[in-house]
Amino acid sequence: MEMPGYDPASTTGAPTPALAPALAAAMLNLSARMVALQEEIRAMNAELAALGATLAQLGGVIEPAQAQEAGALATPSQWLARRNAERINTEVMRRSSIGVDADGDTDLDTEVDLMIDRLHALCDHQQGGT
């Protein structure tokens, strides 16, 4: 098998003079790309140093967040439960203000009434079971 640019008589396996200019050009191109990458890395390191200094400055300016109540909004499910309770309470208050009794004295059971009754039943069941 014959390989272009390889002289089997040569003991070093060096390329023939025909390929030397192409290899030299490739090496120059590779060297230029390496220099460009080194410059880019230096620029990025300088930007990181500047960002670090800016963050250090901001750390001294910004006050730490106030600690919330213990367990307040600890999990997304607790946050959703709080929001749902607020929505139910808002609906109950709205209905009370327009004269609809939450006990069903108007003989109208809406979806909200049924949901509130179900929530009360679940709460009673949990309190009785624990």
* pLDDT tens column, 78-99: 666 667 777 777 777 777 777 6
In single-letter form, the type of residue at position 37 comes to L
Domain containing residue 112: 76-129
65 assigned to some structural domain: no
The number of distinct structural domains making up the chain is: 2
Per-chain mean pLDDT for the chain: 74
Predicted pLDDT at 14: 59
In a domain, 123, yes or no: yes
End-to-end CA distance of the chain: 85
Amino acid at 66: Q
* Highest mean pLDDT, choosing among 18-22, 52-56, 61-65, 122-126: 52-56
Q: Is residue 67 part of a domain?
A: no
Q: What is the mean pLDDT of the segment spanning 15-22?
A: 72
Same domain flag for 52 and 13: yes
Inside any domain, residue 63? no
Q: What secondary structure, in 3-state letters, does 63-88 show?
A: CCCCCCCCCCCCCHHHHHHHHHHHHH
Residue 71 lies in a domain: no
Report the sign of the C-alpha dihedral through residues 95, 98, 103, 106, in that order. negative
Q: Are residues 51 and 91 in the same domain?
A: no
Residue 126 CA to residue 129 CA, distance in Å, equals 5
pLDDT tens string 43-72:
999 999 999 888 888 877 766 665 455 555
